[in-house]
Structure 1
Amino acid sequence: MRVQIPYGSAARTITVPEQALVLHSHPIPPLEDERGTFLKALRHPIASVPLSERLSSNDHVAIVISDITRPTPNERIVPWLLEELSFIPRSQIVILNGTGSHRANTREELIRMLGQEIVDSIEIVNHNAFAPEELVSLGDSASGVPIWVNRRYLEADFRIVTGFIEPHFFAGFSGGPKGIIPGLAGIQTIQALHSAPLIGDQHSTWALLEGNPIHQGIQDAVKLCPPEFLVNVTLDLERHITGVFAGDYIRAHYVGCAEVARTATQAVDKPFDIVITSNNGYPLDQNLYQSVKGMTAAAQIVRQGGAIIAVAECRDGLPEHGNFKTLLQMRDNPAALLELINQPDFQMHDQWQVQKQALVQIQADVYLHSSLPNEVVHSAQLLPAPDLQGTLDQLIQRYGPQPTIAILPEGPVMVPYVAAPTTPA
């Protein structure tokens, strides 16, 4: 059986045994009229009056978008949003690129994300979590987290957060309040909400909001600086919009999460010897940091001592910016990295991604098929798999004669889990 796996802007094809299980998200038809549905959602929102009725032409508006590491269709939803806000002069609108602790996006990237016309006519600000002069302290949240937030966001009369909803590997789901924090948060806030105890909590996981300490911490933080309006979308594999959820930033997000949970999670009976995963191609697999998400999705259903093959192009490297690369090289094995990160006095931004990767590696061997040189893959404490088919064939021999194999072509977009055994009545 031949299976295609997203890789960068293309795909890799691999031959797997006929008994292998290929797991896809439940197909949802794209909206027939994306623009019309989007505008209707703004005019008939969830737990809110229509967007246009909440604003006046004198208001200064901040629109928060997700950065280029996310597949949010900003090039469509931002123009439609501006269309609905046409009575507000563009000189009174600022677009805040919610980078969190990621690097700033270049002008060329912003043009790809938003279109030339918007980039030339509206002020766009890349959030900088490391610039104290661009942040404001709001004190501590109910969870005891120090809250620092983008100054331009707080200065706006009306704040709109956009984004898309998918399962998230430790916050439960993306979108919603995550667009504000960590999207527009200071690094102190981001680190506190990504601490080793929180990341290591068993409830900080895929597709879970109730009892998830990271989701609760984010909600507590955003209560100090809530957006006045939210509009999130759901997407199919080709970035067609399948749903629009607008209105109150908590209630509309919860409705969207419930829909995603219904379509993007799938149960299996037992763990597998070998799991092949992706990060669903570009932009999600643009670097190894982001591609850890696909590994953690595979870890949901790989057996202890099994093997994961991650297929991710990583055109942007590990990357070079941030501390991910540095952290990976601070110890020589995953167990030692976990010991370091869990020390009470240790704190370094990006440690959460290294912690998640190391936790996967404690469970299974992780092979990476990417554009990275073998020595770079080794430096990231992973096993290089330049020959994808050859690596799988070797693993089949190791775990044979008939190893159990699962393939996650969509990577973190479709989250599997091992169903709890049922007890006889």
Structure 2
Amino acid sequence: MVEVWLPYGNTEVCVRIPTGNLLDIIEPKKVDAAQNPQDEIKKALQNPSGDTRIAEMVKPGAKIAIVLKDSGASTNRMLISAVMEEINSAGVRNEDVTVIIAYDPFRTVSSKQEFPMPDTEPTARLRVIQHRCEADEQVYVGKTSRGIEISLNKLFTEADVKILAGSVEPHPIAGYSGGREMILPGVASLSSIEKAFQMGMDRMAKRGNLKDNPVHEE
């Protein structure tokens, strides 16, 4: 018998497997964590995978909407500080920026409680709201290829520049999360969310799969 210890909550459980039934033990690749996450975020913004930096996309006087996933106060503060430095370098005032905390169907919190903004540059005077799919004023923007009517947060749709900041990770029904998740359900209406998520019953709507995944395609 081979004993395999598996993490379970705050402890571990032991699984005993007959030697003849154990094919292999696959260990995840070990990756060293960044020594300074804030610096890594700044480097990524200064050297984007695309051709254009955010600082080259914005202009003084432009209305900016930044959508953040509810990833926790410390992570979001690092993201918003780095993004604001990039935006401020182009002459955009903090008063022209609205930070929208994306709606999470599995969690409803107060943005003031979860995302306190330090009253120092570059994050001072930022307007921070949490999108509420039932209460916020929504703007109809059109239909998807499958006929789902999509309405989005008015402040988001009216912004001259829209920035989505967050992680990309496996998603239970959309394959992977990322920018599109921060739009729907992030800043979408309840009706749009419900109709899109109904497609999660499709057998191709599963974690890690994009091919023929209706939720991903929508």
Smaller-chain TM-score bracket: 0.7 to 0.9
Residue 49 of structure 1: aligned partner: 52
Alpha-carbon deviation of 1:104? 3.7
Residue 35 of structure 1: aligned partner: 38
Mapped to 2, the partners of 1:107 and 1:31 lie a distance apart of 29
Residue 123 of structure 1: aligned partner: 127
Alpha-carbon deviation of 1:72? 8.7
TM-score (norm 2): 0.82
Instruction: Specify the SS of the correspondent of 2:48.
Output: coil
The answer to whether the aligner puts 1:4 opposite 2:7 as a matched pair is yes
Deviations, residues 225-274 of structure 1 (Å, cap 9, x unaligned): xxxxxxxxxxxxxxxxxxxxxxxxxxxxxxxxxxxxxxxxxxxxxxxxxx
Mapped to 2, the partners of 1:205 and 1:72 lie a distance apart of 30
Alpha-carbon deviation of 1:88? 1.7
Residue 209 of structure 2: aligned partner: 208
Residue 107 of structure 1: aligned partner: 112
Alignment map for 1:82-93 (pairs within 5 Å): 82-86=84-88, 87-93=91-97
Alpha-carbon deviation of 1:209? 1.3
Change (3 A) 1:185 1:23: farther
Deviations, residues 339-380 of structure 1 (Å, cap 9, x unaligned): xxxxxxxxxxxxxxxxxxxxxxxxxxxxxxxxxxxxxxxxxx
Mapped to 1, the partners of 2:188 and 2:27 lie a distance apart of 34
Residue 165 of structure 1: aligned partner: 168
Please tell me the residue identity of whatever aligns with 2:94: R
Alignment map for 1:278-357 (pairs within 5 Å): none
Alpha-carbon deviation of 1:33? 4.4
The answer to whether the aligner puts 1:97 opposite 2:117 as a matched pair is no
Change (3 A) 1:153 1:24: farther
Residue 142 of structure 1: aligned partner: 145
The answer to whether the aligner puts 1:65 opposite 2:68 as a matched pair is yes
Deviations, residues 379-422 of structure 1 (Å, cap 9, x unaligned): xxxxxxxxxxxxxxxxxxxxxxxxxxxxxxxxxxxxxxxxxxxx
| Contact 2:73–2:115 under 8 Å retained in 1 | no
User: Over aligned residue pairs, what C-alpha RMSD do you find?
Assistant: 2.6
Mapped to 2, the partners of 1:59 and 1:174 lie a distance apart of 28
Paired positions, count: 206
Change (3 A) 1:135 1:35: same
Alpha-carbon deviation of 1:100? 4.3
Alignment map for 1:145-224 (pairs within 5 Å): 145-195=148-198, 198-217=199-218
Please tell me the residue identity of whatever aligns with 1:199: G
Change (3 A) 1:169 1:62: same
Mapped to 2, the partners of 1:48 and 1:193 lie a distance apart of 32
Mapped to 1, the partners of 2:59 and 2:124 lie a distance apart of 24
Mapped to 1, the partners of 2:25 and 2:101 lie a distance apart of 36
Instruction: Specify the SS of the correspondent of 1:103.
Output: coil
Residue 16 of structure 1: aligned partner: 15
Mapped to 1, the partners of 2:139 and 2:130 lie a distance apart of 16
Please tell me the residue identity of whatever aligns with 1:123: R
Instruction: Specify the SS of the correspondent of 2:44.
Output: helix
Instruction: Specify the SS of the correspondent of 2:140.
Output: strand
Change (3 A) 1:17 1:120: farther
Residue 82 of structure 2: aligned partner: 80
Change (3 A) 1:209 1:72: farther
Deviations, residues 99-150 of structure 1 (Å, cap 9, x unaligned): 1444243522223xxx53478631111101112x511111312221100100
Larger helix percent: 1
Flag structure 1 segments of 5+ consecutive residues without an equivalent: 218-425
Identity %: 22
Instruction: Specify the SS of the correspondent of 2:67.
Output: strand
